[in-house]
Amino acid sequence: MLASPTLPSPFPSPSLSPEHGAGLVASLAGLLVVLVLLLFAVESLVGLYARSVATAAAADGARIVASDPDVRSGAAPTPATTRRAEDRVRDLLGEAGRSAQMSWSIDGERVALRLRTSAPRFLPRAWRSESDESTFERTVHVRIERLR
């Protein structure tokens, strides 16, 4: 009887090395570190974006009041005008607009809107510092333009 040649197996034999699987553990640990760093990056970028949107929304609201004909003539703005401006600011802020606090200040030359709201948070409370507050404040001044 003729013996047939045995072909090598395409699958390597299992290793009995104590380092077997060590690459997997290191890769998972590295992935965990990258994900945590990504979470911190997302937290800061979303916070910066929320502050930028709040500043733009406040400027838009102050512009609405400053362009009111009553304010341009030197009188106080009507409650309907400030309500329309506040509704616009809340609409632009979305979810954060529900809890936003606004205060108006109008002198002869400009309209100031002070906006206090909070940015969305992603980090768990245990990872934040004691002084880390998501509430921030923006004050926007818009000049009242009058025809001469």
Digit-coded pLDDT (tens) for 13-66: 665 566 666 688 888 999 999 999 998 899 889 989 999 999 999 999 999 999
Could you tell me the pLDDT band of residue 148, with boundaries at 50, 70 and 90?
Answer: low
Is pLDDT larger for residue 57 or for residue 5?
A: 57
DSSP per-residue codes, 91-116: HHHGGGGGG-EEEEEE-SSEEEEEEE
Partners of residue 110 on adjacent β-strands: 143
Q: Spell out the domain ranges in the chain.
A: 31-143
Percent of the chain with pLDDT over 90: 45
> pTM of the predicted model, to two decimals?
0.74
Burial of 37 (C-beta count, 10 Å sphere; 0-12/13-18/19+)? exposed
Q: Three-class SS of residue 66? A: helix
Length of the chain: 148
Closest to 105 in 3D by CA, of 76, 80, 67, 137: 76
Could you tell me the pLDDT band of residue 88, with boundaries at 50, 70 and 90?
Answer: very high
- Report d(CA 116, CA 108) in Å as an integer: 24
* Per-residue confidence (pLDDT) for residue 130, from 0 to 100: 67
- Report d(CA 77, CA 17) in Å as an integer: 80
Residue 107 φ then ψ, to 5°? -115, -170
Q: With a cut of 80, say whether residue 123 has pLDDT above it.
A: no
Is pLDDT larger for residue 44 or for residue 85?
A: 85
